[in-house]
Structures are given as C-alpha cells and as structure tokens.
C-alpha cells in the first residue's frame, strides 16, 4: 500500500513557493485546491488561478478541488430557484477543474442546521442534486466526491452517504476522518469503503470536528489505514489541516513533521 500523500491548499498560513517546495521534499505530491465561498464564480476563479499557478510551479499536482459551501451553496435547500442557481454555479467551477485536468471535485451535500422535520425531504433533494452534478462532472472527466459531514448536516452517517451517492453509482465519497460523531470509523468504512475515492485526514476528540494534527486525538490511524486497505482503496491520503493544528502548541509544524507523524501513528514506516 503506497498511496500518494496530499495536502489542502490552506495548509500554510502564508504560502510561498519555497514553503510548498518543502512539502514536495517531504513526500507530498498532491494538493486539494480549496475554493472561496464567495457566491461570485468570477471572483472565485480569479483566486483559484493564482493558487493554481503557485502550487503547480512548486512541483505539486492539483488533483482535486474543494467546492464552496454555505447557505447559498446548499444543494439540499427546498427553495428550487436557489438550489438551481447553486447547481449552475457549481457547474462553472467543474468546468474550470476539467480545463485544468483536475480529476476530483469534493462536495458538501448540505449546510446546517437541518431540522428533523425537514431532514428526509432535504435528503431526497440533495440526492437529486448530487446526481445532476455528478452526471455533469462525469461528462467533463471529473469525479464528484460527496464528503461525510458532522452534526446535523446531511451525510453524518453511512446510511446518508449511501443514499446521497446512490450506493456509489451516482457519485464517489470523500471520507473525512474527523467528521464522524455518531458512528465508528470501522462501521462507517465497512459500509461505504468501496465508494471512497479520496480522503480528508485530521484528528479530533470524537465530540466535534477539530482538524487536529494526526495522533493528537481519538482516531486509531492504524485501524483506519488497514480498513481502507481491506476495501482496496488506492487513492490519496490527503490531510485537511493547517500548520497550526497541533492542539498542544502554538508553534507551526512542517509537512515533514506531518508525514513523519502519520507514518508513526499509522504504522506505515516502510512505505513512505
């Protein structure tokens, strides 16, 4: 098992070409480019182009984008006009990813809070939206990955994820290890593992998302990696955290520190 290692584009507080080159030297090959949550796609793409140029010039492969999220972007909203507007804007961003040769687009299926009395209808609405977007993305050569989310969001358990993705037929899954609050990693991965196409790795306390440095929370990383191996996962181990994510210090850690820690806690010393 020699999965590529990746980082979110938000890892460094003040990113430079030299800082990203240090990530490459540490063994990071892939980047997920996080897009602004602005509802103006032109403004989003101006920023995205700048990030893309810096990252690619540093020797990194931008292999995914994280689509915007928030109230105006909520594809589960029951306001049809608002939902259709969000979908059309998402399509513009997928077009940009396709033009750049970026193969994965990560999507949140809802914002929050989701009221219990609306949950089923919102889940059905989001499932329909996911299929529309995934079909569109597939035609462009981009795979849509629906991310599991915490708290009251849609996608907070494996059953939601199977519904939203049509049991993996309509879309893939982005497994976020620090978002599971009502289900164990083992139970979640055993149910949805075959449909996972990318990851967001960070640690937490099991109570709420924290995006901590791996090894500083409750995640059993050796178990998670082994479960993914058993499911045949060959995608990236992509870390969604920043350089100040160690809860025990205000000092920044480096990509080299992160890779070393991950090898230690996941027991993958011989593979990286």
Q: Distance between CA 233 and CA 249 in Å, rounded?
A: 33
233-257 pLDDT tens trace: 999 999 999 999 999 999 999 999 9
Residue 271 forms part of a structural domain = no
Section 244-272 average pLDDT: 90
pLDDT given at position 195: 98
Is the pLDDT confidence value at 272 over 60?
no
224 within some domain? yes
Q: What is the CATH classification number for the domain harbouring 45? A: 3.20.20.150
Q: Is 236 among the domain residues?
A: yes
pLDDT in tens, 102-149: 999 999 999 999 999 999 999 999 999 999 999 999 999 999 999 999
Is position 272 within any domain?
no
Positive or negative, the Cα torsion across 187, 32, 58, 255?
negative
Residue 191 lies in a domain: yes
Number of compact structural domains in the chain? 1
> Which tens digit of pLDDT belongs to each residue from 145-180?
999 999 999 999 999 999 999 999 999 999 999 999
Q: What is the DSSP letter of 213?
A: P
Mean pLDDT, rounded, of the chain: 97
- 152 is a domain residue: yes
Evaluate whether 130 touches 107 at the Cβ level (below 8 Å).
yes
Domain span holding position 153: 5-266
């Amino acid at each position: 098992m020699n999965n590529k290692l990746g980082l979110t584009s938000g890892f460094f507080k003040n990113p430079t070409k030299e800082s990203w080159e240090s990530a490459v030297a540490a063994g990071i090959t892939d980047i997920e480019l996080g897009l602004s949550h602005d509802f103006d796609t032109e403004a989003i793409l101006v920023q995205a182009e700048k990030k893309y140029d810096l990252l690619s010039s540093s020797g990194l492969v931008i292999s995914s984008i994280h689509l915007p999220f928030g109230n105006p972007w909520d594809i589960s909203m029951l306001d049809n006009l608002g939902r259709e507007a969000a979908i059309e804007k998402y399509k513009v961003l997928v077009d940009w990813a396709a033009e750049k040769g970026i193969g994965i687009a990560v999507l949140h299926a809802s914002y929050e809070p989701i009221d219990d009395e609306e949950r089923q209808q919102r889940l059905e609405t989001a499932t329909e939206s996911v299929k529309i977007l995934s079909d569109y993305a597939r035609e462009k050569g981009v795979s849509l990955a629906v991310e599991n989310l915490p708290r009251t969001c849609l996608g907070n358990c494996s059953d939601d994820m199977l519904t939203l993705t049509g049991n993996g037929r309509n879309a893939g899954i982005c497994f976020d290890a620090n978002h599971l609050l009502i289900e164990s990693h083992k139970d979640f991965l055993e149910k949805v593992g075959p449909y996972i196409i990318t990851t967001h790795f960070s640690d937490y306390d099991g109570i709420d998302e924290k995006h901590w440095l791996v090894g500083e929370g409750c995640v059993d990383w050796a178990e998670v990696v082994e479960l993914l191996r058993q499911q045949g996962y060959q995608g990236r181990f992509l870390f969604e955290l920043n350089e100040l994510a160690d809860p025990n210090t205000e000092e920044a850690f480096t990509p080299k520190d992160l890779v070393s820690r991950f090898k230690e806690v996941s027991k993958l010393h011989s593979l990286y």
